[in-house]
Amino acid sequence: EAQVTQNPRYLITVTGKKLTVTCSQNMNHEYMSWYRQDPGLGLRQIYYSMNVEVTDKGDVPEGYKVSRKEKRNFPLILESPSPNQTSLYFCASSLSRGLAGLAGANVLTFGAGSRLTVL
């Protein structure tokens, strides 16, 4: 089944303890992205990646790092989590950026979400 898998789904941690949220897709998608969702603020993009070794900042990158060493994986790293990073996080992927006109090339497939609480 084509899917985006995030882990962990739920995590409670403490301020300053480094953590990584993994994201993996099995669709050979080039584009991957991380979002956070907070009440009243909708979905906001944190980082995105156009392809392997190509990443860029979204709307709210502060406090986060990402890497894209291989096509299928796009982990989100919180080096020193703080309570304001308590949120619901979503990873998403789509086929490609460069295939203009290819139907559905930019349709995003989302993971199930990771609910993170930082105390």
Partner 1 sequence: DAKTTQPPSMDCAEGRAANLPCNHSTISGNEYVYWYRQIHSQGPQYIIHGLKNNETNEMASLIITEDRKSSTLILPHATLRDTAVYYCIVRVDNAGNMLTFGGGTRLMVKP
For partner 1, the binding residues (CB under 8 A) are 4, 30-31, 33, 35, 37, 42-45, 48, 50, 56, 58-59, 88, 90, 92, 94, 96-101, 104-113, 115
The number of beta carbons lying within 10 Å of the beta carbon of residue 16 is: 11
**How far apart, in Å, are the Cα atoms of 16 and each of 12, 85, 113?**
12, 11, 22
Q: Which CB sits closer to partner 1, 14 or 102?
A: 102
What value, to the nearest 5°, has the Cα angle with vertex 14 and ends 10 and 19?
60
Kindly state the tokens that stand for 32: 């991957």
Q: Which CB sits closer to partner 1, 69 or 103?
A: 103
* Minimum separation from the CB atom of position 75 to partner 1 (A): 17
Q: Which CB sits closer to partner 1, 15 or 26?
A: 26
The Cα–Cα gap between 95 and 26 comes to 11
Q: Give the total residue count for the chain.
A: 119
* Minimum separation from the CB atom of position 83 to partner 1 (A): 20
* Minimum separation from the CB atom of position 55 to partner 1 (A): 11
* Minimum separation from the CB atom of position 59 to partner 1 (A): 6
